[in-house]
Each structure stands twice: as C-alpha cells, then as structure tokens.
Structure 1
Amino acid sequence: MRPALTLLLLLTFAWLCYGQNETNHWYFGEEAGMNFVRGKRQILTDGKMTAPAGCTSISDANGNLLFYSDGNTIYTSDHQVMTNGDNLQGNVNHFQNSIIIPKPKTPGVYYLFYSKNFNPPPNSGLFYAEIKFDAANPKGIVTSRSSLLRSLSSHRISAVHHTDGSSIWLATLHQNPYEKNAVNRFSVFKIDDTGIIQPPVVHTGKTTVSNTGVMKFSPDGTKLAVADYGQSDIFLYDFDASTGKLAHKTTIFTDMMIFTPTNPLGLAFSPDSKKIYFSAREVITRSAITQYYIDKPPTTPPTLDEKKRIYTSTDVHFGSLQLAVDGNIYVSIFENNRPIDLEDGIVSQSELGVLKFPDDEDTPVQYEHLSVSLGGKKASKGLPNFIQSYFRNRIIANDECVFENIDFKVDGYTTINAVAWDFGDGTTASGLQTNHTYTSPGNYTVSAEITFNGSTTTVYKDLNIFALPNLVPNQRLVQCDPDNNGTDYFNLTQITSKITSDPSLQFTYYESLADAQSASNALSNPQAYQNKQNPQTLYIRAVNENDCVQIAAFEIESVFVSVPSLTPLIVCEDSDGVVANSQGTFDLATYAAAIRNQLSLAPAAVLNFYRSQTDAQTLNNPIPASFTSPSTTVWLRIDLPTGCGGIQSSQLIVNATPVINLQTEYTLCIDPSKHPPVILQGDPSNDRFEWRDALGQVVSTQANFQLQRIGKYNLTVYKTENGILCSNNRDFLVVNPSIPSIQSWEATATGDATFDVLIEVSGNGNYEYSLDDLSYVGSGNSHNFQGVPPGIQTVYIRDISRCEPAIQQEITLLGFPSFFTPNNDGQNDVWRIAGAQPSFFQDIDIKIFNRYGRLLHRMNTYTADFGWEGIFNGKVLPPDGYWYSAKLTDFKGKVIQKTGNISLVRN
C-alpha cells in the first residue's frame, strides 16, 4: 500500500474513533510532558515548548500525538514548529489561552482557538487557526491563522460535546460591550462539520472581578464553572448541551475561615461531574486545594458541609487542575516571587501534585503532594486545556475482593451502541453492562471498546482485586475444666494466633456457618463465651483492610485436669511499703517457682494467676508478678505444651500489722525528778519489743518504757502470725515543754515616781510573776504590777507547776509629763522625766525647744533630776507649748529616744 493511502486511512479512522485517547499526550510548562498509555501515566521529556501558563495538546483516537501549542507557537508531533505555526501572538500568560478542537466529521482538520489582548482592537479577542493533515503535510500545516472569532478579550476558554455526540460547543467568557469593565458575557459557539456556527449563543452571567481564574465544563456537559480570582467566588451554571444555553445555578463561596479571603484560581470536575476541586490562595503565603460537593444543597451562609479542605501549603502555590484519562486530577505547582502578580515572577517546579480517587464514594480523595516527578523538566502555572467531555468516556467499576461478583458499566458523552469488554485476566464479554468475578488477586487493566454513532474508542481502568484473609481452618482451643462439668468459659480471641499471623485483621465469632456468612448474630462477648456442648464447633469471620472476608471453623473443648491444693502465700501488711492500709505485696513469680517445684512441673509449663476462675479460663486480666492486694483468693492456671495443665485456687493472706499505740511526741518537764514519771506502753498483743534511741541503740526490750530524757526514739514490735514474723515500728519525739514568752507589757504612770505595769504572757501553762525572783504573785497569762518605781526593772515569770522553763525580762520605766505648772504650789512645779537617773543610765541628753526650734534648756546625766522650771536666760517664759527631745543610754548600751510636746501652764 502506498504511504499516502495509508495516511489517509489512518486519518479517516481517527475521525471514526474519537473518544478520550485524544487527551493522552500532555505538553506543558518548561518542556514537560506526560503520556497516558492504556490509562497508565508515562513521563515525557522530549517537549520543546515553554509555556508559563495556558497550553493545549491533542492526540489521535489511537493516542498518537498530533500537535501542541501555547497559543503563540504550534509544535508538531516531532516537536518542530509547524508550517505557518509560529508567532500567532496569543497571550502565553493566560491560564486558558488556547484549546484544540477537531472539526467534526472532517478527517485531518483541526481548529486551534487562542486569545490575544493586544490593543487596540481588532488585535484583542478570541482568534483561531485552522490546521490540516494530509498526504502532503503528514505533520500538519496551518492553512489559515489569526481569524477573529470574538473581538473582545477573553482569558477563559472551554469546550464540551453537543448531545448529538458529534458537534462541539466552544464557550468563552469576555467583557460585556454594554457594561464598562464588566466580564460577564458568555459566547457559546457550536462547531460542526460545516465549521463554526455564527452567531453564538450569548448569555449574561455573574460579573467576575478578575480576568484570572479557570472556566471549565463538567465531563457530562451539564455544568460550567467559572473561578473568579478577584473575589471569593466560583460561579456555577447549568448548561444545556443541546441548545448551548446557560443558567446560573449557584455561587460557591470559597472562603473557609472568617476574615481569610480565599481567591480561587484553578478548578476541575470529578469524572462523575458531582464534585468540583479548586485551588486557591488564602493569604499571600498560603494556598489550598478544596473539594466542593455539587449535590449538597447550599446553605446561607455556606458551611463546611459543602466544602472540604484537602491540602494546604505555605511553601508553594497551586495553579491549574486538570482531569486525566487515568481518573486522577493533576495539580500544577509553582513558587511566586511576586505574590500579588500571577502574570510573571514565578519559580517553576519539577513535580506535580495529584488528587487520587476524586469521585470515589467509598475511598476519600487522597492528595499526593509533589509526587509526580517530571524527569528534570518543570511545570509552571498551567496544564493543557482539553474538550472536557472526552473524560466522560470511562469504565465504572469498583475495586473488590477475589471471588466477588463485580458490576461493570461504561459512561460516555453520547449514546453508546455496544461495548466489548476485556477484563485483563483472559476473559472477555459484551454488553453495555456486565459482571465478572476474578479468581486470583492482583492488579488488572480492564478495557472497554465503546461503539457509538458508528465510531469506536477504547477506555481503560485499573482494578485492584484484593486477596482474602489467609486462615488456617480446623484449629482447636482447649479449656481447663476445674469442676469437671464440661461447661466453661472460653476466650475465643485466643484462637486467632493459631489461625493467622496477620495482626491487622478484624474478627467476629459465630455459632453457625450461616450466621458467619450473613454476618448476623455475632457473639457479643467472645472474651468470655460459655460453651453449649463439649466439644463444640464455632466459626470465625475475618475481615482485612480491604473489607475482604474469610470464614474458618474451629473447635473448642473443655478438659478436666486435677491440681492438688496449694499452700497459701502469706505476707506482712507492710510489705507494700504502706502501714495500716490492710494490703500487702505478693511476689507471685517466687510463689509460682515454689508451686512448680511442689507439683514437679516441667520448665515448659506456663503458670499465671488470675483474680477469678472465669478470668483464668478466658485468660483475661492476668495478675502481674508483683501483686498488691488485701487478703484474697486467686486462681492459678497451668498451661502445658500438650494443652491445659489445670486450674486451682490459692489463698493470698495479709497478716495484720502489729499494734503500736504511741503518739508522735511527748513532753518531759525540765526537771523530770520533780514530777510523776511518764511511762509509754507497748501493746500487750505483740510478742517482742525494742525501744531505740536516736543512735539506734536498744535502750529497753520491755513492754513499757519510762521517759527520762528528751530526744528521738523508736519502738519496733514483733508478732508471729500464720507462721511468719511481722513487725511494725514508730518514731516519736520526747521534748521539753515550750518556753513561754512575754507577748506584751504596758506601763502607765500613776505619778511622778510610780507606774502600773501590765504583763501578758503567751504559753501553755499557768504562770506567776515577780519583780525580785523571791516573792511571786498572780496566776494566769497576765498580771498587773502597781506602784512600780521608775527605772530599769526585771520581771520574772515561771510556770506554777515548775514544768516549763522560767523566763525574765528587763523593762525600762520612764515618765514623760505632758504639762507642768511652775506656780510654787509644790505640785508639778518642775518638768522632769521620771526614772531618768544616773543609777539607771550612763548617758542622758534632754533638750527643750520653743515652737520655733530654739534651744531653751538642756539637761544631762547630772542635771536631769533637777528638771526645768520654765525659765530661759533667767526670764520666766510665758504659758505656751514647748517641745522636748530625749536620748538615754543604759549601762548595757540600749538607747531610748523620745520626742514630745510640753504644755507650760501658769494660773
């Protein structure tokens, strides 16, 4: 066959077989590329295009690359600039600056739509070029270019199939010529075998604040979404794919937090068209990917019921999102050196992110950040723009377990006439819907050759067929029967270690196979199941992480083994380190070793203690080797390599603590010989006594102990009970009584030469008082001495019972008259300080001043007793107020200082 004829046949076949393989090749970013072969991603590094934002590419129906473009340059399949395909002047910084649409029913003819925004018009708007493939131009040729479709600038272009399955709708959002600066005008063009139909269907929608933000059709052609980067909105429209008409459905409010505007940028629909995923910038340094459920009714204000945050980052920003034929949504990632400007200043990344399971109702969507390495090439802000209905052609089936009957069906953008299935395991089938059961676990690639409108296409889906849990059947769980009645409690969970080594399995237990198969009537307490017959067959149902189920039968049997009575284990009450709490600490490891010797058990025997017989049977709540408890009964279980070795009860006994009835402190008078003896008594129920002093020396072994001197002491008592000796001890102090103290004293002058002195004492005794340590008076905690002469006096205080130490204190009695009347009547004629005498003080300095601070009179140690008669320089001073300053130092160096006012009165 001649080459030209071969090419013509291939092109004709390409028209007949359009489906989703047209989206297999992706070229984007800085020479980055991907190819999806049989639904599996391959990384391409042969691209020659540098696209900072928008781009588009197309393959033939068999998935062979035809050409790609950034809206300015068209590249052929061998990565050369196509003839007439350079300098189209499309704006490469637009997120959706271009899209390729094959001319329906016209083999080898394609349109490239691209946007310009060069001023003045007509250099701004939506333009298109026509590309042709034929025998003369096997790599394609641009036959026409720069054809104006829409004179108003547009940054958003998307396309979807007409309901007839052949024609295609091209939608663009642009400025409204009737509203200044309003971007709310949709022009929807129908493209069929006659070309681009004019005029377009025009619709005025919601006004977008920004030209930045992606617009996309849903794969099923029923929705159109517009992201407005200038505000926190995504406008969602209903689309009629038969008429091209739009109707506003809802506005998605993209903010997730109060006072945190979320500006949407890229978006993509899930393959089932039920969810929208969008990228957004929340703040200058944080970006996010969010999921929105279309089918959930919107709330006012919107709530998180409709939206779900998938991922956030403060390191990078997220750009375009694009659905691929493998069912995943890919995310372009970039760093922005100029956060406010998306037109330039970005740092490209060498990886993409990917959203997996975007429409799976059973598996939550999973985002894998920076998980798709581009082989050294780099992504930018954009990803290729495709006719979105290509992605509706898909196989619908769920991952299942081996031996499960799986339903298969296909979905397409037009009526499907026939489907030929290949399940990837050598089995085929036909029909729009079918089912299949896999008999071996593994990964299978399922293909479906779809026929519609006389054309065919093949779609693929990877299925994971999960293995069933691996169980060893017919295992046996043997129980010890203490009373030989054949009815006992079993811990059924103990069987799991015998039937599987997989710790991740979830188990339920059943009495019948039918219940296990239907997962009904599961045993409510498998940790303590009482058998109904002996032996008895039960069933375990195991479920793995993939919800695959396996059932196995196992047998339980109760066996009687006689165990001799056990010697009780006895401890002292203080063995737990706490006295008088009625508990002890039992060393069960040593006890078990003794029982092992008593019963001559082999080293392989396993001994464990339990709180109850049921716990021992079910192996629940084993007691630790060091066990603190009051006196109690425990149950020993012996397990032998050959099976149950028996269950027997044992007594754990806590001996009572020997009694000590002592106080922590006793008081011994200063002179014990003058007082009745103080004798402490050890409790007579004890067998032995040890009284020790502060040095630890035993000072008495008698039951009673007489206190003779102060200090720290200890009593240890011993008592033998249940064959073991227990002890108790108590520290106590012997102290002298506390020393009383003078709480306060107050002297009141009763004349020039005497005082009343009130003494108050703080202490625990009954006290008497004296001024000469010979004659004592009074009784109690206070006493008032009357007529006490001025000067330095000593007050003596002692306990009437003579138990406490006696105390004494010197007090200084000085009288400072507040007035005097020098009229020679013999009363108050002289102002003097009572008690200011040389016999009491080694130094006396007294000064008299008038109200102006002038020194009028001064007295010292030798003249103080003469006083002041109100005379200055031989002149009698008039009645007035005067001031004094006194400083007195006694023979012990104690200084008394006082200042005050004097009234001089003359009649």
Structure 2
Amino acid sequence: MKKLIILVLFFSTISTYAQKQGNIWYFGSNAGVNFNTSPPTALTDGQISTWEGCATIANDDGNLLFYTDGITVYTKNHTVMENGYGLYGDPSSTQSGVIIPHPTNKNLYYVFTVALQGGSLYYSIVDISKQSGYGEVIEKNNKILDLSTEKITAVKHKNGTDMWVIAHEYLSNKFYAYLITKDGFQPTPVITAVGSVMGMSYTSTIGYLKASPKGTKLAAAVYFPDKLTEVYDFDKGTGVVSNPVTLTNFNGFGAYGVEFSPNEKFLYITEHDSGIPCNLYQVKLPVTSGDIKDRSVSIAKLDGFGALQLASDGKIYVDQVYSQYLHAIEEPNEEGAKSKFKENAIYLEGRTCTYGLPTFNQSFFAEVGFSNSGQCLGDITTFKLKSSVSNIDSVRWNFGDAASGNKNSSKQQNPTHLYEKAGTYNVTVNVYYQGTFATYSNSVNVYELPVVSLGNDTTLFYGQSLLLDAGNPGSIYKWSDGSTQRTLLVKSPGTYIVQLTSPTGCGGADTINVHYDQVINVGLKADTTICVGETIQLNVALPGASYLWSDGSTNSSITVNQTGKYWVKITNAYQNRVKTDTITVKHYQFSSIGIVSDTILCEPQLATITATGAKSGETYSWFDSNKTFLENNNGTFHTGLIKTNTNFYVQLTNGKCVGDMRKVSLIFDKPVATIVNKDTIIVLGSTVKLNGKGGKYYHWEPALYLDDTDIPNPVSAPGDDITYQLIVLNDNGCTDTATVKILVRKQVSIPNTFTPNGDGVNDTWTIRYIDRLPDNQVYIYSRQGSLIRNFRNYSNTWDGTGSNGQPLPAGVYYYVIYLDKNTRQSGYITIIR
C-alpha cells in the first residue's frame, strides 16, 4: 500500500511540471506569437494593445486559456471574460500582470496586477471551469501591497510545488516574496531589505524584475534617473533575497529589460532611449559591482530596445519599440558573439511591438530539450539531450514509434533510433532529478527518399536539345557539369548525372546517356554585294565537321574581299552526310558624305544636321554615340534635346551594303554653377567662406556683406539671413546660376505660457528661433513625471493636446529641451484655457 501511495504522488508531481504553459504570447499593439510551432509563428487575433505590461497563460498542452493587460482579462476566444474588467493594473506599468496557476487546483489561476509608478499590488482569481470553460473572475482586486514598483516575477518553491511571487516596495529597498501553496495565497510575505532604494522618482519604478529559470537568482532593472541594474541571490526555499551586485552608468534613460540564460551563466540587459542606438548587454555571472561597460559585452545595438523574455524554445526574444519583428538571442547559454543575436527573427504579420513582453512564471523555461540528426528513411536518428538541469538522476525517452515495440524507449542520455516508416513522430524526453522531473516533447520528421528519374538513354539529332528535369521542387541540385538548377538543357552528347538534396535533407541521384546524330544545317548565304575595301567572312562552322573550299582551304571559314564565285564542301562529324554550297560576291562603291556644319550649343535645345552625297537609291542611316541605329532618312536628321557634348554617326546604305561612318559632333558648352556650401546656419558675428565652381568668370549678388563679388571664394559676414546668387560665365558666353541661403542663429526664446483656446492667438507653444536648430528634441511631462508628448525637430506645432489628440487640462507641465547633443534646457510651461 505504501508503494502504491508513493507512485500516485509521484505521477501527481509529474503533472505539475508542464513546459507549454508559456507557449502563447500576446503583447504590444495586437501582436502575438505561438511557440507550439517550429519555428514560432505570429498570432494576429490578440485583443490587447498595451504600452508595456501584459501576461498570458496556456494549459499543459500549450493551448491558450486567457490573457490580460492588467486591466481587462480576455478568454481563449478573445472576448472579455465574465467579470474580467476593471482590474487595477495599468498597460503602462512595466509588468502590469503575471498569471500563476494554483499548485493543486487545475481550475484556479491567480492574476497579480501592478499599478503605475508607485501604485498598489493586487491579486484576482480566475476559475477557468466557469462559463463553459471560458473562465470567470471570481475574486477581484485584493490589495496586498500599498506601494509597489512596476516589478513582479514568479518562480517555483524549492519543494517543486508551491510558487513564489516576488515584488519590490516603492520608496524602499524591500523585496516582498509571497507564497502560493495548496491552501492558496499566503498573505504574509517574506520581507528582505537588501540593495538599492527603488522609486526615488516616479520613473525609477520602471524596469523589469526577473527570476532565473532555476530560481536561484533575481535581477532588477531601475530606469531613469537611477540608471542601474541589480543582481541578487534568491533562496527559493526561504524566499530570502541576498548578496546584491549593482551595475551602473547605463546610456539613455537607463536599463529596462533583464533576462537570465537558462544555464544561469549569463544575464542579458537592455538599455532604452528613443532616437539613439542602445545596447543589449551580456553580463557573465558571477559579477561584481561596477560600470556596466566594464562588466559586460554589447552583443547588439539598436534604437528603442524594450523587454527581454526567455521562451520554451530556449531562445531569449528581444523587443524593439514600434518594430514589426521580434529579435532573438538564439544561443543564450553561449558567451559573446556565440550567443548569436538575430535581428528580425519573427515577423509579426503587420502587428507591432511596444515596450513590453508577457511576464511569466520563470520556472516554465528551465531548459530541457533535445536536438536530432538523421531524418531520412533508412538513416539512424541520433538524439542529443540539452538540459540546464544539474544532478540528473535518470532519463527516459519515448520515440513515438509504437510499431518498434520495446525499441520505442531508451534510458540513454543520447540514444539512437531507426524509424522503419516515413512520418511525423512525437518524441518525448523526461529528465528526472531531485525527486521530480522536467519533460520536453517535439515532433521529429522522417522523410521518404526523393525519387529522381531523368528518363531512358536516348539519341538526338544535331540541333535538338533535351531538358532534363530532376523534379522534387525546392531541392538543392548538383549536376555533373557543376550547374545547380532543377533542370539542365542538353545540347551535346554525354553522360549526365544529377545528385540532389530534397528540402527535407534527403538525397537522391540518377544518370542518363545522351547520343547525337548530326544534320548539316549550315551553308553559305545568298549571293551578296560588298563595298570596295570591305572584308566579309564566309563561315559554315559545324561542330566536328570537315571542309574543302574552292581555294583549297580546309578551315570552317574563309575571308573574302574580292569579287568571284566561291564554293565549299561540308562533311558532318559522323561522316554520313555531305553538302556542297556556292556564293557569288560583287563590289559596291559609295560616295563620300558631306556635313553642313558642326554646332556649338549653349543651352539644352533641339538641333538639325544635314548630310549630302547620296546617289539615287541610297539613303542615310543615323546612329547615336554608341553607334546604335536610330533611323533612316533622306539626309536631314533632327536630334532630341541636347544637354551635353554628343556625337552622332551617319553612313550611306543602298539596302545591301553600307558605307563608312561619318562622325558628327555637337558641342554643348553650358557651364554649371555650383556652390559647394549647403544652406547653413551660423552664429551672429561669424563669417562664411563661399565656395563657387563651374565657370571661368564669377559674379555674386547681392554684394551685401561680401568682401569681393567677382571671385569664386568671397567671404561673407552677414548680420541677418541672406540668400546669395552665383553667376558663372565661360568663353563662349554661356551662363548658369546657383543660390545658397545663410541663416543667422539668434538666441532661442522659450515662453512659459500659451493659450490653446482656438481664438487664433497664441494657440501653439512658439519657441522663437528653434527652427534654426534642426536636431532639437522636446519632451513634455506631467507634474507626476509621466511623458505625455515628445517631438523631434520641433517646429512650434504643439497645441496643448496629449498623445491621444485630446486637449490637456489647463495647468503646469514640465519640459526638457535638447537644443543639440550638448545643450539641454528645462523648465515649466503653463497651459491657460
């Protein structure tokens, strides 16, 4: 009886270690990813559009149960869950929610929600058995912490059943670790005062808190102005946090996303800012406190990095604000560049990222998996276990091949298996350790060998071709002649071999012998007339053939420049066909071509060229500068628009022969005025050296502020905005002009009030002369520190509305203006209505 009880408890423990509950993600602007497929695929049916925090949960088989943005709970059918509205999270809270299954009651789920910037921490309860399996919120908004940062994470207790939910108090250095047991949520937390005080400003509550997958470490990112990340040890038996390590001096607004590698050897951190490249750091653990740049390597640098989240495929996915892709760290257990950052790893099918990715119970992602090789029928499939679990007691494989009988399982860590039939097999590996186990299942495909048939050996006649098709679309091909296409066009005899690798990685091959007969399909052209001095070639080349000409030559061609009758006897390569052919050659003489005149052009224009010298029956052929034929006419040629030196050619033709080409040159001599200087802004009192090019003679207008108006490079000392015109002239009297504008920068004047009431007066916040500073950036904050508007290259257009286009209430707001990379101004602006 005791053995039976132990067995029942053991399999109860097994059922709680599902690995697919984190396989469905919904986040950003209606974006989603399904990790039940390989590779992961985009989901486009999500209903949440969240700025940051979100959470999803699937069942043990990876099927969606529900998801939330911290305010509204959506069912697996993407409708609002019964009583699933009005939760006290916030879509602009970094981690506005996390969903934790009850340790023993499969129907109950705890939804923890975190309010914005120093708000409270709550939990609600979902009973998924309600409403015909679509679920119902049966308890809502139970407050458990009055003041909380925007940080929350979860990981399994050391006993493998209970769950820790870990938060951090606002305006303190205290971690709160709450336990969920078989008896439900335990309201008395384990409180640890350790590390930095978080929340000295509203924005410093921002940033992710993560537990490592095995639950032995924590990491917290602290946003602007603190700009730091702390790493801690976590005792998953007692809930105590210890041994803080502080990493400082992040760029931009500071650290935002954090995530551990499955083997806990590395910590990954993103820093965030808009408009400037930010780093994705890899920190090798353990690490000591110090400057992040001295304690890490940057494995990627992009504008607008956001959250990081480990997935069930063992990769860490990287969010980039407003991107339609998720990036990936493909080998997070490897050091430096070997971690393989891949940009644009998953296309979101037109949906976009914002700042956040779903928050999960990090124990979902303890690394257990396998790789396999040998996927073609007849190959022995080799499996290699991948696991971050230490102290493995035993391994149990099921190859999904029931027909193989007792060969369908193995206890080896890296076994092999021979599949007798092609198909898809669901392979499962269970890794047993420390009284429990982790499991991983994936599909293994065994593919049929491709069938390759080039057909039977064949004989072709000369001039025929044979298209060989290796079939099997999408394969990689290698022919005996080195070509790599699916098809090969045969035009000569020989033995042709193709080897291919199908899209499934399986190989096939075939051979065909192609023989040839030869038809003599060459001969001399019809009788012809040639010009005096012209040489033509009589060519009857046929591969492998032999020849005898009337002059005794045995080559495939002869050169002729005299009149007469010429014959050739051709015998084919196979000595079974003979052909004799004859041609008569006569002379033709042309007169010289005369041209009325060449023309010099100062401006783009049409031109007319007249040629003379043709006899009756002859016409003129005209050609462009590349000697490409344009037209035949009676000697008058009208050009197109001429904008540069242009050559034309003309020759006489009688329809059979052509004369020598005569070159006709049109000279385009228009100068091009060029001012090297771009339109520019200078400080009042400075000078600008103008740099003109393009002519022989120069003149600048107006003369105001210039030291000389008739040289290429005068110096201007403008006292106000001015536009100069450069006039250039060449020896042929052709001119051209160019202009340059010089703006004189004056001190920026920032008003502290404006009245956006629609009366046409002072309706926008007008900062005088800011348009002279094209790299300016303007940020508007509420008095509580929330960013409500930001502008790049601000052009005096803000009318007192928020990011949603609605008018902001009258009152005082805080601004920060970066006039350029080195100059920052800040203060208060009052909206009066």
TM-score (norm 2): 0.48
Q: Who wins on radius of gyration, i.e. which is larger? A: 1
